[in-house]
Structure 1
Amino acid sequence: MNSNHHASFEIQPADIMSQLPTQFFATLVAKVGRLTSMGHDVINLGQGNPDMPTPSHIVSALKQSAENPLYHKYSPFTGYTFLKEAIAKRYKEDYNVDLDPETEVAILFGGKTGLVQLPQVLLNPGDLCLVPDPGYPDYWSGVALARAEMKFMPLLEEHAFLPDYKAISDRDRERAKLMFLNYPNNPTSATAPLSFYEETVSFAAQHGIVVASDFAYGGIGFDGQRPVSFLQANGAKDVGVEFYTLSKTYNMAGWRVGFALGNSKIISYINQLQDHIYVSLFGGIQAAAAEALTAPQTCVHDLVSAYQSRRDAFHEALDQIGWKTKKPEGSFFSWLPVPDGYTSSSFADLLLEQAHVVVAPGIGFGSHGEGYVRAGLLCSEDRLREAAERIGKLGVF
């Protein structure tokens, strides 16, 4: 027929498509797939996907709510009030933070959505955003979509993996309009004290910088320490918002439920943008999410103690092979220094090819991630011990 009739017609993407950051971890996934398909037993500590199922009382709440015909219609645009009240109640109980459910809470399709939307509602092309280095690469995506610019704030071990505001140049302080922070931190697993957030609030207020606190791992702190919320700092709501997700605290990564919390003006901008993209989450998921937040939090305590046991087993095994490491304070990641003579990528390749253990090279999180690899505590204690033993057999340490 006329199949070559329109051969000269070419689909051209918008310029922005070529400006998005390349997905560094896609290449890692491809390498892992190759080894697995060859029949090798690969221990994958490279990704951040929770491995345990969603607690059954939350799943039951979804099953029940799925039958409710009310939820088969469009949800209210900004989501159901009962879910916003549920997160406000959780923040009051856990952090003694007061949130107005109607004006200080936005429901998100997972935390990532809000992190990518925020630069789009606050930044004009050419505006400056401060991002942690190493940090979660999706911060870069939102900045790219806003056609804004980034300046990296180094997170160094000698500064407890907290940014040093004094090291930011005067010009960057004055230009910056937005700043991302993330504690418990991915990838370094560091936690932040309240004093750091208080310093952050005054720094942000002084220079007119909006603070975005990514609190994805807020539910996971070890040795009896509950991670501190940015919103616990005096005046935090005046200068910023916090992003919370159910993905990690309740093993609900696939459910895509998150929140932006705090400054009412920013919350209204996020809701306004979302009005143009979504009609809120399926009501059944909102009901199950409210159940997660308001039911007794036994499942969260159990989850944290499971991660703590894994952490202890893994780091004890690393100690035995002579790999000197620091135990994480929060999150479900271990941030491990690479031995002399290797880059983070060459060491990760060695572990993959020779020990069939997957770790994420630090360079994938920014230039200051060089010199480290990230391991996820996302398999059983036995598998974590075995991973350490396999690494030990390489005789590197």
Structure 2
Amino acid sequence: MSGPRFRSARLDRLGSAIFAEVAGWKREARSRGLSVINLDIGSPDQPPHELLRSALAEASLREDSYSYPGTDGTLAFRETVARWFDRRFGVRLDPTSEILSLMGTQDGLAHLPLAISNPGDAALLPDPGYPVYGAGLAVAGVEAIPLPLMAENGYLPDFEAIPQAVWDKVKFMILNYPSNPLSVTADLAFFERAVHTARRHGVLLVHDNAYSEMAFDGIRPPSVMEIPGAADIAIEFHSMSKSFHLAGTRLGFAVGNKEALSALRELKNNIDFGVFLGTQAAGIAALEMDMNSPKPIAGLYESRRDAFVGALREQGWDVLLPNATMFLWAQVPAGWSSRAFSQSLLASTGVASIPGNAFGALGEGYVRLALVESESVLLDAAQRIGGFIGSTEPVGSE
């Protein structure tokens, strides 16, 4: 017999397993007595605001919170999303047909290809881009076509450079601004071009807007839904995980095109029963708080960004200053591959990062570092990195 009996060959198409591999590197480093600084996974290190924890606790004590919640999400949650969306973006949504609750945006993004595509279809994915995009396509049997994001274009895709033959077989394209891992933003003029392009070629525009509330220097990232007519051709995903430090509760939502949301809802009706009612209560409290007495998380990460980037530059690593998200996208020193640098850095210093090529071929030559530790820990990490860069020769590239 060749190969494991109880493992699908589909798993081989899921792409990079680097997150699990880095976890193994961390275990090895700890076994040798190193103190590890976790800058690899974008998991918030702070708890949600006390108001949100109280809302979750109170709802959890209610006897009626433990029935199946329903895939749509409660009407109260969807109506609150609609009010928040109108306040934040000036866009009115129908809570009954244009909003769908999710167990985090990753849930929706991973399942979307199964709901709207057929095996043999194709989709355009950002390169570099978040790995779950490709994983969802692999499970659905959909071909992934890279959408190059280049520094010379401000890390925005060049739609005109895509051959018509590609457009002819593409069912949808995914965009992500503010971008993970690139930490760049896009303006309304770009989204106007994106909507026009999607309409011209008859493809669904899927925008991952998980970091809409995590931009710096006064930037307020827009929604694609602000473009007139966008709901005819686009859907957008939003997350409660990063903006409100509710990562462990698993809550997000999708808005926009009714047909695409209906297809995703129909799929999810067959595979889950929706988000816990207590979690939705916490989500309502978060959005209400943001509308009535905002306590934005972005300031915390902007302060960490300034401290960490400044310290890294003092150590001789001239990394770029990101204008959004909780990540730094840093070019590795000359002579290193992404993977070799990330692995050697962790083995030598205990500082964990993610190799850039985990996010696509164009991520080679970079690493992603997450701002998910206190400023004092980040400054410690910068000192360790500086000592590594100053004393270690490249071990080769791959």
The within-5 A match list for 1:200-239 is 200-239=194-233
**Structure 1 residue 349, shift from structure 2 partner:** 2.0
Task: Quote the RMSD (CA, aligned, Å).
Answer: 1.8
Matches within 5 A, 1:135-284: 135-284=129-278
**Counterpart residue number, 2:396:** none
Q: What are the within-5 Å matches in structure 2 for residues 32-71 of structure 1? A: 32-71=26-65
- Mapped to 1, the partners of 2:389 and 2:144 lie a distance apart of 40
Which residue identity lines up with residue 203 of structure 2 in the other structure?
I
Report whether the alignment pairs 1:103 with 2:97.
Answer: yes
Question: Aligned to 1:184, what secondary structure does the other structure show?
Answer: coil
1:39 and 1:250, CA in 2 relative to 1: closer, same or farther beyond 3 A? same
Q: Report SS of the residue matched to 2:205.
A: strand
Give the alignment's TM-score, normalised by structure 2. Answer: 0.94
C-alpha change, 1:352 and 1:12, in structure 2 (3 Å) is closer
Residue 213 of structure 2 contacts residue 220 of structure 2 at CA under 8 Å; is this kept in 1?
yes
The residue type equivalent to 1:137 in the other structure is P
Q: Give the distance between the partners of 2:220 and 2:244, measured in 1 at CA.
A: 16
Deviation at residue 12 of structure 1 after TM alignment: 4.2
Contact between 2:116 and 2:264, CA under 8 Å: does it hold in 1? no
Could you say which residue in structure 1 is the equivalent of 2:333? 339
Deviation at 1:118, TM superposition (A): 0.9
The size of the alignment, in residue pairs, is 389
- Partners of 2:304 and 2:145 in 1: how far apart? 35
C-alpha distance in 1 between matches for 2:276 and 2:389: 52
1:316 equivalent in alignment to 2:310: yes
Equivalent position amino acid for 1:316 in 2: G
Letter in 1 for 2:361: S
1: CA distance between counterparts of 2:300 and 2:69?
Answer: 36
- Structure 1-normalised TM-score? 0.94
1:25 to partner: Cα distance:
1.2
Give secondary structure in 1 for the equivalent of 2:270: helix
Listed one character per residue, the Cα deviations across residues 241-260 of structure 1 (whole Å, up to 9, x for unaligned) are 00011000100111011111
Q: In structure 2, which of residues 52, 71, 85 is the aligned counterpart of residue 91 of structure 1?
A: 85
Name the CA shift for 1:296/1:131 in 2 (closer, same or farther; >3 Å). Answer: closer
Q: Is the 8 A contact 2:87 2:291 kept in 1?
A: no
| Aligned-pair CA distance for 1:211 | 0.8
1:7: which partner in 2?
none
Distance 1:145 1:190, change over 3 A: same
Which digits, 9 at most, give the CA deviation of each residue in 1:47-104, with x for residues without a partner?
1111111111111011111122222222244221000011111111111111110100
Identity %, equivalent residues: 38
Establish whether residue 114 from structure 1 lines up as the match of residue 108 from structure 2.
yes
Instruction: Output the amino acid matched with 1:123.
Output: S
8 Å Cα contact 1:89/1:294 also seen in 2: no
SS in 2 for 1:249: coil
- Is 1:287 aligned with 2:281? yes
Q: CA deviation at 1:358?
A: 1.2
1:349 to 343, 347, 350: 343
